[in-house]
Amino acid sequence: LKLNCDGVVATSSFASCGGVLLDNWGNFILGFSCLIRHCSIIHAELWAMFYGLKILRDRNFCDQIIIESDSIIAIQFLNEGCPRTHSCYG
């Protein structure tokens, strides 16, 4: 399964996030989107991953999952953890 996630922040700092889940052949399984509080783009990207993984867990899609994002930093935080000095920590 592949989870494609994205976050967006408007000039007003109003943010939203969303994603799609695809099977191994690229077929659409489900999609999601949500409004989130005012935040930075990295926070919006991380919220997209969080909500996507939560939906997958709630629907028992717990097999191997590939997460794709256009945010290298968000993927790095997911793989290595967030540095204590970053505003996302905690």
Q: Is residue 10 part of a domain?
A: yes
Q: What is the CATH number of the domain that holds 45?
A: 3.30.420.10
pTM of the model: 0.85
pLDDT in tens, 58-87: 999 877 899 999 999 888 888 888 777 766
Burial 30-56, CB ≥16 within 10 A → b, else e? eebeeebeebeebbbbbbbbebbbebb
Q: Is residue 85 part of a domain?
A: no
From the number of C-beta atoms within 10 Å of its C-beta (0-12, 13-18, 19+), residue 25 rates as exposed
Strand order in the sheet with 28-36: 28-36, 15-22, 2-9, 66-68
Structural domain that includes position 39: 2-80
pLDDT band for position 88 (cuts 50, 70, 90): low
Handedness of CA 66, 71, 22, 10 (dihedral sign): positive
